[in-house]
Structure 1
Amino acid sequence: MAGAGVLATAALVLSACGSDDSNDGDAGGGDSAAQGFDPNEEVTLNFTWWGNDDRAERYNQLIEAFNEEYPNITINGTFTDFPAYWEKRQTEAAGGGLPDVWQFSDSYLRQYGESDLLLDLGPYDEHIDFSAFDDGLLQTGQLEGTQYSLPTGYSAWAVFQNDDLLTELGVEPYEGGTDHATYVDWMADVTDAGDGSVYGGSDYTQRIQGLEIILRQQGKNLYTEDGQLGFTEDELRDYWNSTADVRDGVTVPQSQLEEIMPISGFGGNLTASEMSWSNFIGGYLADSGASSITIAAPPTENPDAKDLYRQAGLQMAISKSTEHPEAAALFLDFVVNSEQAGEIFGTTLGFPASSTKLAGATLEGPDAQVADYLDSVADRIGDAPPVPVDGYGSLEQTFWDLGKAIGLGAISVDDAVRDFFDEASVVLG
């Protein structure tokens, strides 16, 4: 989510069709979907994603590789930061102008799927190889049996640490997997050593994923199977209050974070650690300029709990309104399945979810770190949570915004809890 604030555009014009022998999916519905499809037709597709400059450079390389096989398909690519991305999608959805192919999130699966705005990918199995995914990962893009999206990869929640800053400050890395109090003590040591220039971390209670891990340690989830919140006002109040002392001199002041947005405190070298998804390592290296980053397991009060899970939230989808569904399916398949995608992205879009994409990835350097990290927390990996509730994406952003407002002193915890549940009652009906 620590993406570049500027909007970049890349348009690559492609001119005669290449072969599709790498995309021989299961026979079936694709025949009817491809009826009337001319593979040599000049086609233009709009493609968009959220992220930073590092991700944009990789996507542009991938589009160039796609160009070599499908030179008759023009890909107009744009990107922005995470919050602005979803604001723009909501505006486009209201006006019927969603992109042909777009980076998607399972947080919005119910919202866009139940609104009939996403293309059912099932009939396009002539162009998309579904067999490269295991069933569990396929299901992350399914709603009531309909395949609306496909994951680019999967991640797990983690603690990132800037090795250069820690070496400079003379502080050993956080070992990971301790209780929260031990992690807070470590952050305090870094902040003391940084003497106002570097802080141990940011207020981790701003992110709803931190609450999710605590709930999962108790056998709960953020939301229930029937589409309601899985936690109470008291549980949220306790969560936000748990870092009241941490905000007072241990974590980086929220006012300083506001000055460098949309870059995160970790990406901007204000903090030596930050919790996020394991696939963020590429973006963090690019933003911070660090020579190396350590990945450690997040804190837990119950080391035996299955509190982590394979998060395949970063997906690819096609708008139902696209005028070129077959060409869009070809491009989506290239993004999620091609060996070139594995080679170019490594683990920066998550550990490759498809076997063909994984075959192209060379797991060395940061990519090997992600693979090693996922292996190291295998015993903490449990079942994936239920499909996110309709409107979860907006609730996630509301949670984050309220957490930042608490950090700025603009709202009390009690008022923030009230505002979040008021919003949830509207969103969830």
Structure 2
Amino acid sequence: MSIRARKSFSGLSVKVAAAAAAIAITMTGCGGSPQAASDGTVTLRFSWWGSDVRHKMTQKLIDAFQAENPNIKIKGEYGDWSGYWDKLATQVASQDAPDIIQMDAAYLGEYAGRGALLELKDVDQSKFDQAVADAGKVDGKQYAITAGVNAQVVLANPALVSASGVALPDDKTWTWDEYSKTAADITSKSKDGVYGSGAVTGDAPMNLWFRQHGKKLFSPDGTFGFDENDLKGWYEYQAKLRDSKAVPPASVMTEDVTASVDQQGLATNRFALAWYWSNQLSALSKASGQALEIHRPPSTDGSAADAQQYYKSSQFWSASSRTKHPAEVQKFINFLSNSVEAGEIALADRGIPGNSEVRAAVTPKLTPEDAATAKFIDEISSELGDAVPVPPAGSSSVMEVLGRYGMEVHFNRLSPEEAAKKAYPEAKSQLRS
């Protein structure tokens, strides 16, 4: 999945609620996976979402695994993102879940917390960074394996930056204040309709801001890791971006957030800087016709080592707790996660490989953009903060509330203090125990 930072969890609340209701249905009885055939052949169902390109690539992964394991057959069940979660919720509720499930962080806590996922004790993660391995844990148990690694980045359009005559600060030392000033300078020195930065909103920028201030978006126990005053500080930064014209008017940002990625401001050469996940560099470069540059997000003190950067799993591999073939399921997930052959087939489609040896093996085969992303992922490995906890149930609704009040600040309909005072309790009420 490639979802822009500020859209990471927006629009998912209805689906999460539907999933929660469906999963809550009694979870007893037999699973829907077929038994082994009389000749010992096992058939596993495997569900994923994605484009036609991903479907064809994933079938190649299946074919490669089956060539090595002729007694295990993999039956693919795939579709697009929009209908994937409704279908999965229905399958889980009717005790007919696929054996292997492509999982997203927004749903991992929901499904794991209600007993729908298998604990993956036998998948090797010895070549994964600890934070990447821990990203798939819920309550200390491994319910998911990272399929690809992302990091939050600032992408720059070099043509727009150059045309403005503004020099970008060193991304290892720039601060949030320098970011806003640089973006404001680019806006003022560019032609009408070009802005220094796109919106700096969404869960990832907000989480980095909180982490750099000694707080966090969500705590491991599923509660808020920030208070109303922290939120006020975040909204004050939004007001600063607004007043300096570092970002577009609120009406432009509202339109941009609902546009497809290839129609957003960075892709259409209207934003000089924008916040995205690292694995979106290739698609955005292609859409913009520019060789976009990848930069670190800013920090509060001008030190990348203190920026509390983190790896995000672009997707996960999970399995149904009702599978009749847990050993075979984990063997397949182990192949997807740790095989160089699998890595050379998948390349960076689901993000940069989490296994460091696979990542090194496939990097020479990547496109220039994906190779730049892989290099960036490796470069920031010494700058990482603690792993980000799996989002709790209701997190998508929380982000909708916090984002909505942030836009009220951008429209100048509420002050940062008023927005925080209204948003904090409303967002907190969205968390479900």
TM-score, structure 2 as length reference: 0.75
Local SS of the residue matching 1:158: strand
Compared CA separation, residues 59 and 228, structure 1 to 2 (3 A): same
> Cα gap change, 1:73/1:351 in structure 2, threshold over 3 Å: closer, same or farther?
closer
C-alpha spacing 1:45/1:90, structure 2 compared with 1 (3 Å): closer
CA distance in structure 1 between the aligned counterparts of 2:100 and 2:415, rounded to whole angstroms: 41
- Corresponding residue for residue 321 of structure 2: 320
CA distance in 2, matches of 1:331, 1:44: 9
In the other structure, the counterpart of 1:29 is none
| Partners of 1:117 and 1:109 in 2: CA distance | 10
The CA deviation at 1:405 is 5.7
The alpha-carbon distance between structure 1 residues 344 and 225, as it changes in their structure 2 partners (threshold 3 A), is same
Q: Look up the match of 1:178.
A: 174
1:425 counterpart (407, 426, 429): 429
Q: CA RMSD in A?
A: 3.8
Report the counterpart of residue 273 of structure 1 in structure 2: 273
Which secondary structure does the structure 2 equivalent of 1:300 belong to? coil
Cα distance per residue 1:102-129 (max 9 Å; x no partner):
332344333211111112222xx3xx44
> 1:10-409, aligned counterparts within 5 Å?
36=36, 41=41, 43=43, 45-49=45-49, 53=51, 57-70=53-66, 72-80=73-81, 99-122=98-121, 125=122, 128-133=123-128, 135-167=130-162, 171-173=166-168, 175-176=170-171, 177-204=173-200, 206-247=201-242, 249-252=245-248, 253-258=252-257, 260-261=259-260, 263=262, 264-286=264-286, 288-304=287-303, 305=306, 307-312=308-313, 314-321=315-322, 328-347=329-348, 349-355=350-356, 357-363=358-364, 365-404=368-407, 406-407=409-410
For 2:10, the equivalent position in structure 1 comes to: none
Shift of 1:257: 0.9
Q: How many residues are paired up?
A: 390
> Does the CA-based 8 Å contact 1:106-1:387 persist in structure 2?
yes
* Stretch moving more, 305-314 or 177-186: 305-314
Gaps of 5+ in 1: 6-32
Tell me the CA shift for residue 345 of structure 1: 4.2
CA offsets, 1:71-126, max 9 Å, x none? 74332322226xx765665566556565543332344333211111112222xx3x
State how far apart, in whole Å, the 2-side matches of 1:245 and 1:303 are.
Answer: 19
Q: How far apart in 2 are the matches of 1:257 and 1:184?
A: 19
2:117 aligned partner, one-letter code: L
Quick one: which amino acid aligns to residue 267 of structure 1? A
1:361 counterpart SS class: helix
Whole-angstrom distance in 1 between the partners of 2:399 and 2:276: 14
Give the structure 1 partner of residue 24 of structure 2. Answer: none
Residue identity matched to 1:66: I
Q: Would you say the 8 A contact 1:153–1:349 is kept in 2?
A: yes
Aligned CA distance change for structure 1 residues 90 and 368 (closer, same or farther; 3 Å) = same
Contact kept, 8 Å, 1:309 with 1:381, in 2: the verdict is yes
Change (3 A) 1:326 1:107: same
The structural deviation recorded for 1:179 is: 1.4
Task: State how far apart, in whole Å, the 2-side matches of 1:379 and 1:250 are.
Answer: 30
Change (3 A) 1:118 1:397: farther
Amino acid at match of 1:183: Y
Note closer, same or farther for the CA distance 1:45–1:269 as it changes in structure 2 (3 Å cut). Answer: farther
Structure 1 residues 266, 340: closer, same or farther in 2, change over 3 A? farther
Q: Which runs of 5+ in 2 are unaligned?
A: 8-32, 68-72
**Distance in 2 separating the partners of 1:130 and 1:348:** 20
Answer 1 or 2: higher relative contact order, Cα 8 Å, separation at least 6: 2
How far did residue 231 of structure 1 move? 0.7
Stretch moving more, 69-78 or 146-155: 69-78
Residue identity in the other structure for 1:256: E
Preserved CA contact (<8 Å) 2:261 2:284 = no
Q: 1:137, CA displacement in angstroms? A: 3.2
Cα drift, residue 143 of structure 1 = 2.6
Secondary structure, aligned partner of 1:265? coil
Instruction: Identify which range, 93-102 or 193-202, moves more after superposition.
Output: 93-102
2:383 counterpart letter in structure 1: R
What TM-score does the superposition give when structure 1 sets the normalisation length? 0.75
SS at structure 1 position matched to 2:49: strand
Checking the alignment, whether the CA contact within 8 Å between 1:406 and 1:416 is kept in structure 2 is no
Per-residue displacement from partner, 1:273-312 (whole Å, max 9, x unpaired)?
21233233233234x2434121111111123425112333
Q: For the residues of structure 2 that align with 1:39 and 1:266, how far apart are their CA atoms?
A: 55
Contact residue 45 and residue 75 of structure 2 kept, 8 A: yes
Q: How many angstroms apart in 2 are the aligned matches of 1:322 and 1:419?
A: 42
